[in-house]
Structure 1
Amino acid sequence: MAVEPFAEVALHMRGFQVSQLVFVAAKLRLADRVGDGRTIAELAADSSAHPEMLLRLCRALAAFGIFAVDDAGRVTQTHQSACLRSDASPTLHYAALYWSLPSTWAAWSNLHHTMVTGEPAFEATFGMPNFEYLKANPEQGAVFDEFMRHSPDDRHAAVAAAYDFSGAGIVVDIGGGSGGLLRAILDAHTDVRGILADQAGIVAGAAQTLGPQADRCEVMAIDFFARVPKGGDIYSMAQILHDWNDESCLKILANCRAAMNPGGRLLVIERVLETLSGRSLPMNFLSDMNMMVLFPGAKERTLAEFSRLFRESGLREPQIIPTRSPYSILETCLA
């Protein structure tokens, strides 16, 4: 049944409440506990939740298709609730926890500040940049790290499937975190070796993420504003440029260009904003707003904006390679 415009907007206005329902479900690990079906009493005992309140939570979620609840109070899985299992692939479990972090919640509640000042709401709310805050609040930082490691949009596997890395020799992942993308590439291409390059504190836990591929990967602590390791055949950067303003992006790209061999390739993996009516993806624009809230000058970009950055960095116009995820691969090389 079609939703009337008035009712649709009214529901959007209360979206923050739905976010909290999903967050609490993830916090209680309900999707992991339901299995083939459990009673409210069983779920409440397992999760240390109040039985009556848990029943009401599950009924509310079921109204949105997340879980199903019968008249006897038995809860069963749906296709939507199964996405919240921590072992789903891809999983939304860690995304549900991240999007309702106290810091995320508070920064977004201050969106109006960004609209009238042009400054990120996060820094106005907490008095420090986002990444510094996460370092100072390790519990929330750990949630962010898990969110990045368990890409909810299947970005890592999607990139590895969409691009032919075979014969590349060495793939250098710049700002590659704990190695999620590089692990997917090495899993898919047994003839490739990797270099994982990021800040020392971030790559410290790379061995766990890389797993059996750790022996095929060198881990390097770097500052990509200072230098990028040489010797790669392919350089990749996933969700890096959207964190920074244009000036900072040009510095990062210049360092990549300086490290690249004449036949080297650079893969920039980002959302590409499509502004034509009827072709835009709402999640891409929500991501753009999130960048606005979190970091000064950060944003998602259109193809024209990426092309300008590449040109000014001495790189060729990019070739866009779509993936099955919301992310595209922008392939470029030395001009």
Structure 2
Amino acid sequence: MSHQITGIEGFNNVALLVRAFQLSRMLQVATSLDLAGRVADGPQPVTQLASDCGANPDMLLRLCRALAAFGIFRVMPDGQVSQTSHSAWLRKDAEPTLYYAARYWTTRGNWQAWANLEYAVRTGESPFRETFGVANFEYLAAHPYEASLFDLFMQHSPDDRHAAVVEAYDFSNARLVVDVGGGTGALLTAILIAHPDMKGLLFDQEAVVAAAPEMLRGFGLSERCRIEAGSFFEALPKGGDIYTLSQILHDWNDERCLTILSNCREAMGQDARLLVIERVLDEEPGQTNPMSYLADIHMMVNFDGGRERTETEFAGLFTRSGFSAPHVLQTRSPFYIIEARPV
């Protein structure tokens, strides 16, 4: 028996959500062709765009028209394509930029694992491992192109979380900040630029930090930032005033998180501080940012036991690993700073 809904309110919004994956793929193609960058200085004939990026003119026109229907680019009757306020965010040099996000979210690893979402809901197991036979980070190690896109996506965070963290927290009394699992050093770079008298230590796996020296040199930070390779599941460098874990704990189940936190606690002096930078889920969904719940499902799809957490869940992890109850600071981004001290 069919259910007749009175009124049409919300129908078109839900209909668009049902087909949102198609828009994601269209945006990925647009960024792969760097269309936003190619029209940055003014309108371009679609024939010229097609020639410049090696595309079929008719197919490219149809792609641009479809995106223009959603406010991404403007297409004139004569085939001229121009920028809009929405397409401008797809430029590489936009601040913040969605260029790398549009490419990263539709990589083969993400795309195929998400296609297997129902497997997670039914079994409680990782769709990523079921799809590819290995864990996410093992997959990235074997697929350098996707790994490089992941690093660029993290480095050019579209939510501008690195700057937001620096603005929201007082780092001024720290002499040495240790960024645990800090990737290529994007967060640490933002902190050191804002505090010229501070030094940094970037700690991550050897294959990850391999790209960090070039970035640090580019910002003139080579003399102020030391790099050490290692695993946060083992011993961590000692001597830091502040230890940061930015988007690390959400990759792991509770037991693995307790190992990471306990290793941080072991490395920290009694006066040191731990800053965990993560999304914090509302105890009741729908109060703040719905993207945090989308992020939670992404962790469910891609990682064994990965998840976003509530403040109560973070407090439980800190208490069990030798830290005080957390103090949660909001930033202007979707990410929070969760501060804890050794007890």
Give unmatched runs, 5+ long, in structure 1.
Answer: none
1:21 aligns with 2:21: no
**Alignment correspondent of 2:232:** 224
- Structure 1 stretches (4+) deviating beyond 3 angstroms? none
Distance 1:89 1:209 in 2: 18
Give unmatched runs, 5+ long, in structure 2.
Answer: 1-7
Task: Give the TM-score taking structure 2 as reference length.
Answer: 0.95
Contact kept? 1:198, 1:221, Cα under 8 Å = yes
Contact kept? 1:83, 1:92, Cα under 8 Å = yes
Distance 1:82 1:117 in 2: 41
Sequence identity (%): 55
CA deviation map 1:210-256 (0-9, x unaligned): 23112100000011111111000000010000000000000100011
The equivalent position to 1:107 in structure 2, one of 113, 129, 152, is: 113
Distance 1:256 1:277 in 2: 31
Task: Give the TM-score taking structure 1 as reference length.
Answer: 0.97
CA deviation map 1:82-130 (0-9, x unaligned): 1110111211111111111011110000001111110010000011111
RMSD of aligned C-alpha atoms? 1.3
Which runs of structure 2 are paired with 1:1-335 in the superposition (5 Å)? 4-35=9-40, 36-210=42-216, 211=218, 212-276=220-284, 278-335=286-343
The alpha carbon displacement at 1:277 in A equals 5.0
Distance 1:285 1:310 in 2: 22
* Matched positions, count: 334
Counterpart secondary structure, 1:213 = coil
Counterpart secondary structure, 2:223 = helix
Cα distance, 1:129–1:249 mapped onto 2, change above 3 Å: same
CA deviation map 1:162-185 (0-9, x unaligned): 111113000000000010000000
The alpha carbon displacement at 1:276 in A equals 2.8
Counterpart secondary structure, 1:223 = coil
Residue identity opposite 1:316 in structure 2: S
Distance 1:14 1:125 in 2: 23
The alpha carbon displacement at 1:278 in A equals 4.0
Distance 1:285 1:32 in 2: 31
Residue identity opposite 1:263 in structure 2: D
The alpha carbon displacement at 1:39 in A equals 1.4
Moved more, 38-47 or 180-189: 38-47
Distance 1:80 1:41 in 2: 22
